[in-house]
Chains A and B, each alone.
Chain A
Amino acid sequence: MIAELITRLRFLVARKKRNEVDEELAFHLEQAIAAKLAAGLPEPEARRQALIEFGGVERAREQCERQRPGWQMSAAAQDFRYEMRVLRKSPGFVAAAIFTLAMAIGANAVVLGVMNALILHPVNVPRAGNLYALDHQQGDGWESYPNYEDLRDRNRSFDGLAATALSQVALDTGKDPSRLWGFEVTENYFDTLGIQPYLGRLFHASDEHGFDSAPAIVLSYGYWHSHFHDDRNVVGRVVRVNSHPYTLLGVTPPGFRGTFVFFAPNFYVPMVDHNQISGDNRLNQRNVRMIIQVVGHLKPGVTKGQAVADLNGIGQVLAKSYPDVDAHESFTLVRPSMPQGLGRPMRAFVTALMVLASLILLAACANLGSLFAARAADRGREVALRLALGSSRRRILQQFFTEAVLISTAGGTVGLLASIGLLHQLDAWQPFSSVPIHIPAQPDANVYLAAFALAVVSALLFGIVPVRHVLRTNPYEVVKAGTGGRSGKRIAARDILVAVQIAICAVLVTSSMVAVRGLLRSLHSDLGVEPKNAMLVETNLNEAGYKPENILPMQRRMLDTLTAIPGVQHAGLVSFPPLGRGGSWRADVFRDGATDLREANVAANSYMYVISPDYLRAAGTTLLEGRMFDWRDGKDAPKVAIVNREFAAKVLGSTSNAIGRYFKTANGTREQVVGMVEDGRYLSLTEDKQPAMFFPLAQEDPLGEQWLIVRSARDPQPLSAEVKSRLRGLDAQLPLDIVMWPRELDFTFFPARMATLSLGVLGIMGAMLSITGIFGMAAYSVSRRMRELGIRIALGAPRREVLMAALGRACKLLFYGSGAGLLLGLLATRVLAFIVYQATPRDPLVLVGTVLAMLLVGMVAAWIPAQRALGADPLVLLREE
């Protein structure tokens, strides 16, 4: 046994020399000839018979080689070395193949990385695998604070339940008060998650003694790093949160970004202080769902099912005790990921991207498959020769696969490297300065593994294409007929591959065209306002500590100050700008004749804006009829309103004589319409026409939160500095957020832009893939028919005919492939319409655009082969063979 092992090891290291085998076989042959001679045969005949009996020398040699333990490994190494030599001889083919694959695998890796980060990956906290967020059918998982307290105190399944609410506050740290997004969290939040402070300390449940009892704030590492420049002395300092003094307790660790992916808070304040911070009393209200997320670790040994039953039991008790509040009787446990409501569209979008990226990969495989098939056909002679010499088909196939694996490994590596770079950039990217949206796309082992698997799978996919060719090669035929021998069928298979690939690419091109068109249209659709040259100043007089009676005079002072700035055309004030990220107010309105103001009689649920007299001019909203407000529309004057066209049509019954008519608000007040403005968009770009109404500032309750709109053609930079200094001149403590309106709208346009960008990139990739695909096919068919083309030219064929002969097939494939792709793409846009705004397949521009793009692709791809075909020199070609 041991002896055998040692021999095996010995031969593993020192394999038999090749010439030994040769010499031994030669000796055998000699002996055989000698034996025949001895039997009385003449010399040539003896040799002939011996050789026939002997059979293939190469085959015997290979068989001997195969007996060696581990021969497969050395055969693989041999294939590897051989293929490297072969590939070095055709750098164009290698570059095209690697580029194609790198693109496809890179695209897939990027999408996988984003998918991994946004959907599959848990939030970055200790024991994340055991962390669950509560979700229920009613209201997307939002919860009221009293309900949360009951759930927290009565459940027996969780190691503590912590809650989060979104919060935007004015934070004054001594210089330049600014408005920030962060979390209101329950005091047990950090302990429940197991987060240790990076600096100072964090909240604990023991800090809490009732409402407004814990004036403390914790900063995220990112905010501390960028705004305090890693100053460790800030801990213990007192800062102002909405003008209330709060102690800066500490800083969270760098890796911790809250319990949502996609949204990284700048700060954490105790939820018990909500009433103080926001100036309302939502904490006490069981019917106000202010908590966006409740999370906790399951206790050891408790299953998800048990926990859900436990929670549902509490929900039933609550539903009995508080019948006027919506019931919560069907809880589910989910992984904490995106803010509820955002998750579903996001998931749909990423899934759609994944599908498109896989299409790219499929197209790339089809592309490479046809390239490989062409190559196999070109190497037909070599294959036939080797088969004739006794090499096994298996060995040749193994070699072809080695080639496929080599190419795919190289392409996969390049693609993965590129995608890692891109993912890192995505990870570092902060699309908005004011809202800490963050795409946590750090690539990890999952992504690497998946990309590697994709490379291997695609190698198998396109490596399989030439298999049939090798298996069917008949060495005698090929050697006899030379390379010219070809069967029509083989080419048909390759043609199908090319057509499929073109079709897939046309789908991608169509989708991206539809997306780009949709975005352009929504960007240029009538918004009902003119964001260009307008600046938004967000401020909050409640946060600045103003009493209600002082708010209106302060607002007028601010407006006067802004109007006095040289170069400012108009300055207006509005409760919320349309299409803003703060959302919009809506209110029920009734027809003038309605006496019974019940739900059933509501004429419309209209958007509602409280505006200063100059707002419409500042916002660029066109007044169609009637007049604008002025400051005389005050408390003692008759109640008036301006409405939009849709409102007039829906509530007042007609748009032609709306002025002077009346409608009623929910509390029965009669409002007289004094003006009618154009329709616009108020909440999102996708909405249908909506009614909207505007009320004069002086006739409504004082507005704490407000946006000032400054219209000016001046350079934004100095203007914003001047606006800031003038307003701070009125009140140095005023929290101010200044942004150009188009920039603010970026937030509204962000999803559409991202969608369009990704689809656009995929579309370009699709186009590039079809270029390489068509180019490969056309170049191949030209090179195979060079001799024929040369003869045609020699016989005086016109250029057009030569081109038709050379590229007719490519054109046909392009035509059919694009047609099929266009049809499929138009079907696919029905799906796209859910994601991309205004995506409609019935758009002549998209049709024309796609056709033109594919034509262009075809022309670019066929250009070089066409030149080559036309330049065929019959003399040179005929001399060659």
Chain B
Amino acid sequence: MPASTDLLQGTLDLLILQTLALEPMHGWGVAQRIQQVSRDVLQVGQGSLYPALYRLEYKGWIKSEWGSSGNNRRAKFYRLTAPGRKQLENERESWDRLSAAVALVLGQSAEATS
């Protein structure tokens, strides 16, 4: 198993939804995009990427269709659905709340130790 796939499942879902919000993309594309945008910090292995894509699709948040990739190769493209967009907003909000809360806690403890 490739390392650095230990993203929290919810976080991976959020990242995928966010990535697909820009444009429809195939699985490889999604992984590459996340890696690029995170400046190689977040590497998504196929072992968690595809199960996550399927999970999101079964939930109805994304939709898949076969299309043609750049080099004329058949590939499956995923795009965000309307419920998916809503879900993305919700998750973003809760992520923001969570990270703000975590930042607060870390900030406090940093003050306390200094």
A50 to B48, CA, bound (A): 16
Chain B's interface: helix, strand, loop or mixed, by majority? helix
Binds B, one of A56-64, A140-148, A441-449, A561-569: A56-64
Given contacts A27-B75, A27-B76, contact A3 B47 (CB under 8 A): no
- Checking A35, A55, A69 against B45 with a beta-carbon cut-off of 8 angstroms, the contacting residue is A55
Instruction: Say yes or no: is A688 at the interface (Cβ < 8 Å to chain B).
Output: no
Task: Check B47–A56 contact: CB distance below 8 A.
Answer: yes
Tell me whether A687 is interfacial, beta carbon within 8 Å: no
Q: Which of A16-24, A89-97, A103-111 binds B?
A: A16-24
Residues of B within 8 A of A55 (CB): 1-2, 45-47
Number of A-B pairs, beta carbon distance below 8 Å: 77
Q: Is the CB of B46 within 8 A of A7?
A: no
Is the Cβ of A4 less than 8 Å from the Cβ of B55?
no
Instruction: Choose among B50, B55, B58, B76 the residue that contacts A60 (Cβ–Cβ < 8 A).
Output: B50
B28 touches A67 (CB 8 A): no
The answer to whether A54 touches B26, judged by C-beta atoms less than 8 angstroms apart, is: no
Does A863 sit at the interface, judged by CB under 8 A? no
Contact A24 B47 (CB under 8 A): no
By a CB distance below 8 angstroms, the chain A residues around B47 are 55-56, 59-60, 63
CB-defined contacts of B45 to chain A, threshold 8 Å:
53-55
Chain A 2-22 per-residue mask, 1 if CB under 8 angstroms from chain B, else 0 = 011011100100001000110
Whole-angstrom distance from the CB of A143 to the nearest CB of chain B? 73
A16 to B45, CA, bound (A): 21
Residues of A within 8 A of B50 (CB): 21, 24-25, 28, 60, 63-64
Do A67 and B26 touch across chains, with their CB atoms under 8 A apart? no
* A64–B60 CB distance below 8 A: no
A51-99: which residues lie under 8 A (CB-CB) from chain B? 53-56, 59-60, 63-64, 66-69
Q: Given A11-B58, A28-B28, A32-B28, are A60 and B74 neighbors across the interface (CB < 8 Å)?
A: no
| A68 with B58, Cβ < 8 A, contacts A27-B76, A31-B28 known | yes
CB–CB A4/B83 < 8 A:
yes
Quote the shortest CB–CB distance from A319 to chain B (angstroms). 79
**Contacts of A53 on B, CB cut-off 8 Å?**
2, 45
Cα-based distance from A54 to B47 in the complex (angstroms):
8
Pair B46/A67 contact, Cβ less than 8 Å:
no
By DSSP majority rule, is chain A's interface helix, strand, loop, or mixed? helix
Residue of B32, B54, B58 with most partner-chain A CB within 10 A: B58
Query: Contacts A4-B59, A69-B58; is A27 near B51 (CB within 8 Å)?
Result: no
| Pairwise interchain contact B28-A7, C-beta atoms closer than 8 A | no
Minimum C-beta distance from B10 to chain A (A)? 15
Q: Which residue numbers of B lie inside 8 Å of A, CB to CB?
A: 1-2, 26-28, 31-32, 45-48, 50-51, 54-55, 57-60, 69, 73-76, 81-83
16 contacts between A and B (CB under 8 A): A3-B81, A4-B60, A7-B59, A8-B59, A8-B60, A21-B50, A23-B74, A24-B50, A28-B27, A53-B2, A56-B1, A56-B47, A59-B47, A64-B54, A67-B55, A67-B58
Extra A-B contacts (15), CB below 8 Å, given A28-B50, A54-B45: A21-B50, A24-B75, A24-B76, A27-B28, A27-B69, A27-B74, A27-B75, A28-B46, A53-B2, A55-B47, A56-B1, A63-B47, A63-B48, A67-B51, A67-B55
